[in-house]
Amino acid sequence: MELSVLLLLALLTGLLLLLARGHLKAYGCLPPGPRPLPFLGNLLQMDRSGLLKSFLRFQEKYGDVFTVYLGPRPVVMLCGIKAIREALVDQAETFSGRGKIAILEAVFQEYGVVFANGERWKTLRRFSLATMRDFGMGKWSMEKRIQEEAQCLVEELRKTQGALQDPTLFFHSMTTNVICSIVCGKRFGYRDPELLRLLDLFYQSFALISSFSSQVFELFHSFLKYFPGTHRQVYKNLQEITRFIDRVVEKHRETLDPSSPRDFIDAYLIRMDKEKADPRSEFHQRNLIYTALSLIFAGTETTSTTLRYGFLLLLKYPHITERIHKEIDQVIGPHRLPSLDDRAKMPYTDAVIHEIQRFGDLLPIGVPHMVTKDTSFRGYIIPKGTEVFPILHSALNDPHYFEKPEVFNPDRFLDANGALKKNEAFIPFSVGKRSCLGEGIARMELFLFFITILQNFSVASPVAPEDIDLTPRESGVGKVPPVYQISFLAHGGC
């Protein structure tokens, strides 16, 4: 009996080795990387603290372009600005496919503008960019929306009378209102129960997507999806948000005037009606729901999380906050509304915002890409359908471009004359055809929200600056700042 068990084990081991060799041969021209095991991939070589540290360790050994097996599937890693630009810009079309984020796959299933591929993606991206420009992303109209929302926030912060607050709700509310005004023509009161529920779902989901358990799920989702876990909660949360969007769409359909669209959803419904006879049309309900979900979720989380990191850094480094206040007083004063035209006259404040984005490192491993055809890259052959991770952290923290990247230093973005200077490795929104759809609106929001808040308030913490901990609460697909308390105290003549 024991002999037959041993023979069976030997046969199974031999079969696995043959399968592994065949699998590796199929991907034999991929960039080098740690040798995988059958099924496990490179699991045993991974750092327990998460995927990013593992990838950075592999970069030291294998260079800026290497292959890692996440479970059984090979993924090509791009590290450093040169490799990322060579792929996503110089071969933009080839690298324009969207890879999968395992924990979100069951929700989106390649629908909606962010996770679509091929002609579906091209069609939805063209429509989304044009329509968002029509309903708010043009400079003047978008600036006005943000200015109005910033003043609403100021009123809410004044009501706190300097009491300690977790700023999450405030920052989430104002960014949600801006993107919702474009997508569904709706703005919420800051205490609206429907808004509070949505914000809780957004915040909870982003934290779960960025958690260690979701990184484990990324490795073995084909097996783990059948068991309870973080992925089930993320699915449940996002399904609740899609039901909310579905209700909003139905209300729009009931009140739609084709001659006078009010927002993104109206424009989409009009296009749906025009193409309803075309069975190949991408303008259908499912793409509408998941495009709206993508725009609202991304438009809320990215900017609000950056703001939360930003104000934590301002509490940590009060001398930087003082310099911003001085620049605001000199350029704008206490009463005039800040405008986008002020940015050119406020290089230090602009440099601080750049450094917050660099240091905050919101999407450290980037959003996965996929090659759309067999591709020659740096002497290797990447087969069609292979996923590619542009490791944005490696560009934003490259010591060749940012001296002492672990240090928060806004002056790195200023030249000898105190003017803002560009740095090609500064790519918080990624680059290429899959770069962030909302980059323009996010840049406007960050500047106008920061300036408006600091024009009206000084900030204080119950924790001494030297004791403030910047360690993220979660760091995976995204980086989530720690929870903290802050006081907004009336500033100057306000």
CATH of the domain at 97: 1.10.630.10
**Could you tell me where the DSSP H helices lie in 332-430?**
347-360, 392-396
Residues of the chain with pLDDT under 70: 1-28, 136-140, 492-494
CA distance 283 to 393: 36
Q: How many domains does the chain have?
A: 1
Domain that holds residue 169: 25-490
**pLDDT at residue number 136:** 61
Query: Could you tell me if residue 474 is inside a domain?
Result: yes
Q: 418: which residues sit within 8 A by CB, 6+ positions away?
A: 347, 348
The DSSP bridge partners found for residue 382 are 375
- Tens-digit pLDDT profile for residues 195-246: 999 999 999 999 999 888 998 888 888 888 999 999 999 999 999 999 999 9
Query: Could you tell me if residue 8 is inside a domain?
Result: no
The tokens for 278 are 């075309």
CA distance 177 to 195: 9
Q: Which amino acid, one-letter code, is at 12?
A: L
Query: Could you tell me if residue 20 is inside a domain?
Result: no
Query: Could you tell me if residue 7 is inside a domain?
Result: no
Q: How far is CA 329 from the centre of its chain?
A: 33
Long-range contacts, 406-411 (Cβ 8 Å, 24+): 408/313, 408/316, 408/317, 408/355, 408/359, 409/355, 410/320, 410/348, 410/351, 410/352, 410/354, 410/355, 411/351
CA distance 267 to 261: 6
- Report in angstroms the alpha-carbon separations of 449 from 170, 183, 190, 298: 11, 20, 16, 17
Neighbours of 155 (CB within 10 A): 10
Query: Could you tell me if residue 13 is inside a domain?
Result: no
**CA 31, 34, 39, 44: dihedral to nearest 10 degrees?**
-150
**pLDDT at residue number 48:** 77
The tokens for 83 are 């490799």
**CA 323, 325, 327, 331: dihedral to nearest 10 degrees?**
180
**436 is annotated as contributing to ligand binding:** yes
At 369 the three-state DSSP class reads strand
At 210 the three-state DSSP class reads coil
CA distance 336 to 222: 56
At 391 the three-state DSSP class reads strand
CA distance 272 to 264: 12
Query: Could you tell me if residue 323 is inside a domain?
Result: yes
At 380 the three-state DSSP class reads strand
Query: Could you tell me if residue 19 is inside a domain?
Result: no
Query: Could you tell me if residue 449 is inside a domain?
Result: yes
CA distance 184 to 55: 40
Q: Which amino acid, one-letter code, is at 353?
A: I
**pLDDT at residue number 23:** 45
Instruction: Give the up-direction half-sphere exposure of residue 415: CA atoms within 13 A in the CB hemisphere.
Output: 6
**Could you tell me where the DSSP H helices lie in 109-167?**
118-132, 139-159
The DSSP bridge partners found for residue 389 are 77
Q: Which helix (H) or strand (E) holds 166?
A: none
**pLDDT at residue number 28:** 54
CA distance 89 to 68: 23
| 325 closest CA partner among 447, 420, 468, 456 | 456
